[in-house]
Amino acid sequence: MLSHLNKDGLPEMVDVADKAVTTRIAEAECTVVLGEAIMAELGANGFSTKKGSVVQTAVIAGTMAVKQTWSVIPLCHALDISSVKFDVQGEGAGAMKVKCKVKTAGRTGVEMEALHGASVAALTIYDMCKAMSHAIEITDLRLVSKTGGKSDYQAD
């Protein structure tokens, strides 16, 4: 049975009241394929555009998204987030890798928060660069790892 469906098959928030409070960490990542020309232009300008710093703006937007995941994904719990860390790096000549790591001490995991943070950071990079091209792609959004709950996970 899916965890977000009740016995009648209707959507329902998972009851986590009886779960133990543990330290829970999740990391998600995705790739923003900008193309070599945009990456070269960004590199020449210190990864800034007329809108400001691409990386710093993406980190701020991603952090805000992590903290608001509960308001966007209907059955997510509002969580007390302990830490959000981003790593945004060049990935070859034409792309950027966005990694988001989220930590909490709670009764439920932070996978959705990490995925939401990475995706919004990537969307912010798109927004900051779309004046140079609309052919930008956001690819390979995935959960990399999670620890601290009933079952840990590590991607291959």
Question: How does 96-105 read in b/e, with b if 16+ C-beta sit within 10 Å?
Answer: bbbbbbbbbe
Q: How confident is the model at residue 156 (pLDDT cuts 50, 70, 90)?
A: confident
Task: Report the chain's mean pLDDT, rounded to a whole number.
Answer: 94
- For 53-101, how does the pLDDT look when each residue is reduced to its tens digit (9 = 90+)? 999 999 999 999 999 999 999 999 999 999 999 999 999 889 999 999 9
Active centre residues (catalytic): 127
| pTM, to two decimals | 0.93
Q: Give the helix/strand (H/E) hosting 13.
A: none
- The Cα 5–Cα 28 span in angstroms is 25
Q: Which CATH superfamily is domain 38-147 in?
A: Molybdopterin cofactor biosynthesis C (MoaC) domain (3.30.70.640)
17: DSSP letter: T
